[in-house]
Amino acid sequence: MSNQSNCIDPRGDVSLKIKTPEKEVTAVFLACSRALARASPVFDRMLYGNFAEAKSNNSNTTDWIVKLEDEKPAPMETFLNLAHSNFARIPKTFSIDNLYDLVVLTHYYDATHLLAPWIETWLSSVGEIVRDASDIMSKMIWITWELGRKEQFTIIARRMLMEAKEPWPSAADDSEAIQAPPYIIGIQRINAVRNQTIQELLDIIRDMVGKLIIVDEQPRWCRHATWMGHHRCESMLLGSMTFCLARAGLWPVPEVSLLEMSLVDLHRTLTSLIIHDIGETSEKPVIDHRECNPGPYLLDKVQRVMSNIPSTVTDYHFKCLDERAKSLK
């Protein structure tokens, strides 16, 4: 790929040679070392400290060139324009991917404060996208964390918990995983709460099935069951329930690791089950089996589980987010 030369500052004294993770030189930026040092403590140490890139180590060369590995040119260009007050060149809108790349970069260079004047505009421009898509939420949770957006961070964390159809990849499992906020126990915490809640919901079904096929020597589900009597009531309830579960892809009851369904979808499925019962018998005396229907029991159990889902965001996280928000004012 050919080099692309970009003049950030016509009077610049340092050239930043950007390389992608594929080690291809994709851009060279002419910049002012002093502007970079003022904007970023990392660049200050790099350019005026004891690093090989420092000015003192390049005083005998005509060109001062600093090579930056594994960077993306687009976010670097935005960062450099911010650092040099080239405000007319700053994008008014961003895609989620580009905003994420920029925030990751400014975090690395300890320069997120440069983004403060544009935060509201940029987040407003991606708001509709966030509401309609779940696959980019892992990037949005990092963006809202780094920018100290407490309300949006909490909403995204909740959506990541409720809408994921499978566990979120984490850095511990995937070196290419999205960067996660520190101190949140991040993706691992969200996955753990998701798995725990799914397990509790599936256990409700397992428990109900176990009670419907119980042996005669133990208490029966049917309220009108007699010792060694027929199981017509339980058989109909069990058949109706398993038929509904099978149509929903939940029969046999799967293990958590094999379930490709979000908590929202699982909750909707379980609360939508229509379990048929015998009703009133025609024989005398009339016996009403409608009270044996496990539907109300199922709804109550499911709602109890859903209302007791642990939060993935703690008071400590709120404190950190408040501190980040203050640092950007």
Write out the DSSP string of 36-79. HHHH-HHHHHHHHSSSTTSGGGSTTSSS-EEEETT--HHHHHHH
Tokens of 282: 């025609």
pLDDT tier at 220 (50, 70, 90 boundaries)? confident
Q: Which phi and psi (to 5°) does residue 306 adopt?
A: -65, -35
* Sequence-ordered alpha helix ranges (H) in 40-173: 41-48, 73-83, 96-108, 119-132, 137-146, 150-163
User: Is 270 part of a structural domain of the chain?
Assistant: yes
Q: Does residue 39 lie in a domain region?
A: no
Best CA proximity match to 322, nearest among 314, 190, 304? 314
Amino acid 280: pLDDT? 85
Please give the residue range of the domain that contains residue 232: 196-308
Task: Give the bridge partners for 17, in sequence order.
Answer: 28, 67
Predicted local distance difference test score (pLDDT) of residue 292: 92
Is the pLDDT higher at 282 or at 141?
141
Cα 313 from Cα 136, distance rounded (Å)? 19
**Is residue 265 one of the residues assigned to a domain?**
yes
Question: What tokens does 17 get?
Answer: 């040679």
Predicted local distance difference test score (pLDDT) of residue 83: 97
Structure tokens belonging to residue 79: 């960062």
Short-list 272, 276, 273, CA closest to 290: 276
Residue 318 within any structural domain of the chain: no
Tell me the per-residue pLDDT of 73-123, one tens digit each, with 9 for 90 and over: 999 999 999 999 999 999 999 888 899 999 999 999 999 999 999 999 998
**Which one of 54-58, 141-145, 220-224, 264-268 scores highest in mean pLDDT?**
264-268
CB count within 10 Å of CB 163 equals 16
DSSP structural state of residue 224: T
Q: Summarize the confidence of residues 42-49 as an average pLDDT.
A: 93
pLDDT over 90 for what percent of the chain?
56
The candidate with the shortest Cα–Cα distance to 89, out of 202, 6, 182, 198, is 6
Q: Is the pLDDT of residue 175 over 50?
A: no
Span 306-329, pLDDT tens digits: 999 998 888 888 998 999 999 998
- Segment (H or E) for 274: none
Mean pLDDT of 290-295: 92
* 247-265 average pLDDT score: 95
Provide the pLDDT for residue 62: 67
Residue 235 within a domain: yes
Task: Compare 133 and 222 and report the one with higher pLDDT.
Answer: 222
Judge whether 129 lies within some domain: no
**Helix, strand, coil content of the chain in percent (nearest 5):** 55, 5, 40
Indicate whether 190 pLDDT > 80. Answer: yes
pLDDT value of position 25: 66
DSSP state, residue 257: G
Q: Please check the confidence at residue 23 and state whether its pLDDT lies above 80.
A: no
pLDDT value of position 168: 83
Chain mean position to CA 111: 24
Residue 262 located in a structural domain: yes
pLDDT surpasses 70 at 174: no
Burial of 226 (0-12, 13-18, 19+ CB in 10 A): exposed
Distance CA 98, CA 96 (A): 6
Q: What is the mean pLDDT of residues 246-264?
A: 95
- What's the rounded Cα separation, in Å, for the pair 237 and 278? 8
What does the pLDDT average to over 122-142?
Answer: 74
Residue 19 lies in a domain: no
Structural domain count, the chain: 1
Predicted TM-score of the model (pTM): 0.81
